[in-house]
């Protein structure tokens, strides 16, 4: 396949969506937990989450246009906080099912069978089944003009992770945390270690 | 491990960097090819690339603060274009090695032993060894205030991918394209299929 702009834009809509969404290969997949002003919890699956910085610890989450109700974004705007957790092979089917459009006031936690968990000082719900759990405060909201998407930058204010998955140098091993990858809109993958490589220097091969 | 903000900020710098960079589990890893105004090619490894939209086809790339020379960002600003390609298990060691700080005017292509390839109408170099290759034009540049990082949004103007890796519905199968995942700053992973799941609807389990 070798397609130029005009050929890409004339592709069948579903084909194009699957193609464009799978161009980056395996990618991270996470669950974002929020709560509405009236106390309804929400859980949603996101693959557009990325590292923004280590100090202060920041992550970015991209939200699609506001053409349909987006409870996660609304809740983050209303409460200023959210949780983010890994998806493991033990509950990726439930995680995927959170994408269904449940009518208000159904919580995705109850609908898909994942358990919500709270810490005393933080409003948003964690997923009890997750092994890596983060609490984040919204610190910035940016509109991307090109297609009216919204980027939320969150500061990590709590990290919960299993000690046995953390290497001496701070690296969380996904084989031990159970974190899986996704691709496209609906594919899920276990990972198999190839290697951890040394810090690259010019005089190495 | 259960750390709050003040405990996170007092961690050893390397430990914190490894920890924060590995929180999202397995993530996508890509090579970005650019060329300078004076014709020096550049190749750099990025894991902060994400899907922004399918129509128009857009990707986002996050760049760290401009405290050290960032040739990729400078070249994109100067020429308005870049290529992005997958990393496969066949050359992930060379891809990693592009992170070394080679002195000007060394091209990473030559330094690590990957071959550059050009199409007639596009200035930036592709990686010949890659199986999925994209040409992008810069359409937007956004500064993230929280930590002075820069987000470049690029529109995909060409897609090159092997037909045998593309499913009937447009999905590129990473097992067939050979695309791998990364985690943290230096770990690389093959993927193993778990499942492709159906579009989630409220009346399913």
Interface check for B200 against chain A (CB to CB < 8 A): the answer is yes
Of A20, A111, A194, nearest to B89 by CB-CB distance is A194
Interface check for A140 against chain B (CB to CB < 8 A): the answer is yes
Nearest-CA distance B201 → chain A (Å): 4
> Which residue carries 């090159």 as its tokens?
B160
Nearest-CA distance A16 → chain B (Å): 6
End-to-end CA distance of chain B: 33
Q: Which CATH class is domain B27-189?
A: mainly beta
SS3 A92: helix
One digit per residue, pLDDT tens: chain B, 205 residues?
A: 999 999 999 999 999 999 999 999 999 999 999 999 999 999 999 999 999 999 999 999 999 866 566 799 999 999 999 999 999 999 999 999 999 999 878 999 999 999 999 998 899 999 999 999 999 999 999 999 999 999 999 999 999 999 999 999 999 999 999 999 999 999 999 999 999 999 999 987 6
Buried b (16+ CB within 10 A) or exposed e, B118-134: ebeebbbbbbebbbbbb
pLDDT for the residue numbered A64: 86
Euclidean distance between CA atoms B13 and B61, whole angstroms? 24
Euclidean distance between CA atoms B196 and B205, whole angstroms? 15
Contact call for residues A19 and A11 (beta carbons, < 8 A): yes
Contact call for residues A33 and A116 (beta carbons, < 8 A): yes
Of B57, B180, B192, nearest to A20 by CB-CB distance is B57
Torsion angle in degrees (nearest 10) through CA of B47, B49, B50, B52: 170
Percent of chain A residues past pLDDT 90, beyond the cut = 91
A50 burial (CB, 10 Å; 0-12 / 13-18 / 19+) is buried
A24:B49 CB<8 A = yes
Query: What is the mean pLDDT of each successive set of 10 residues along chain A, which is 205 residues long?
Result: 97 98 98 95 96 97 77 95 98 96 90 96 97 98 96 98 98 98 98 95 82
Among B160, B168, B154, B161, which Cα is nearest to B62's? Answer: B154
Partners of residue A46 in chain B, C-beta under 8 Å: none
Euclidean distance between CA atoms A86 and A76, whole angstroms? 19
Give me the residues paired with residue B35 across strands.
B41
3-state helix, strand, coil in chain B (%, to 5): 20, 40, 40
Rounded to 5°, angle at Cα A21 from B53 and B99: 95
Euclidean distance between CA atoms A118 and A65, whole angstroms? 29
In whole angstroms, what separates CA B86 from the centre of its chain? 8
Residue B8 has φ and ψ, to the nearest 5°, of -65, -45
Residue-by-residue DSSP string for B21-49: HHTT-SEE-EEEEEE-TTS-EEEEEES-E
Residue A75 has φ and ψ, to the nearest 5°, of -65, -40
Which CATH number is A25-186's, of 2.30.110.10, 3.60.21.70, 1.10.150.570, 3.40.50.1980?
2.30.110.10
B89 burial (CB, 10 Å; 0-12 / 13-18 / 19+) is middle
pLDDT for the residue numbered B67: 58
Residue A127 has φ and ψ, to the nearest 5°, of -95, 115
- Domain ranges for chain A, please list them: 25-186
pLDDT for the residue numbered B69: 65
Please report the beta strands in A100-145, taking only residues with DSSP state E, as ranges in sequence order.
Answer: 116-117, 126-127, 133-144
pLDDT for the residue numbered B204: 76
CA distances (Å), B178 to each of A198, B146, B189, B192, in order?
A: 23, 36, 11, 11
């Amino acid at each position: 396949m070798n397609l130029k702009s005009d050929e890409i834009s004339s592709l069948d809509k579903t084909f194009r969506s699957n193609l464009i969404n799978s161009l980056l290969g395996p990618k991270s997949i996470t669950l974002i937990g929020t709560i509405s002003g009236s106390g309804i919890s929400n859980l949603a699956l996101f693959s557009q989450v990325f590292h923004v910085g280590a100090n202060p610890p920041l992550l970015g989450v991209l939200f699609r246009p506001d053409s349909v109700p987006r409870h996660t974004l609304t809740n983050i705007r209303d409460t200023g906080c959210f949780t983010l957790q890994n998806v493991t092979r033990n509950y990726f089917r439930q995680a995927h099912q959170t994408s269904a459009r449940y009518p208000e006031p159904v919580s995705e936690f109850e609908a898909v069978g994942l358990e919500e968990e709270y810490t005393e000082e933080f409003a948003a719900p964690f997923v009890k089944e997750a092994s890596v759990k983060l609490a984040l405060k919204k610190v910035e909201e940016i509109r991307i003009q090109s297609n009216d998407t919204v980027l939320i930058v969150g500061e990590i204010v709590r990290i919960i992770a299993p000690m046995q998955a953390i290497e001496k140098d701070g690296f969380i091993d996904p084989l031990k945390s159970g974190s899986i990858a996704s691709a496209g809109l609906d594919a899920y993958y276990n990972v198999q270690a190839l290697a951890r490589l040394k810090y690259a220097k010019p005089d190495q091969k």
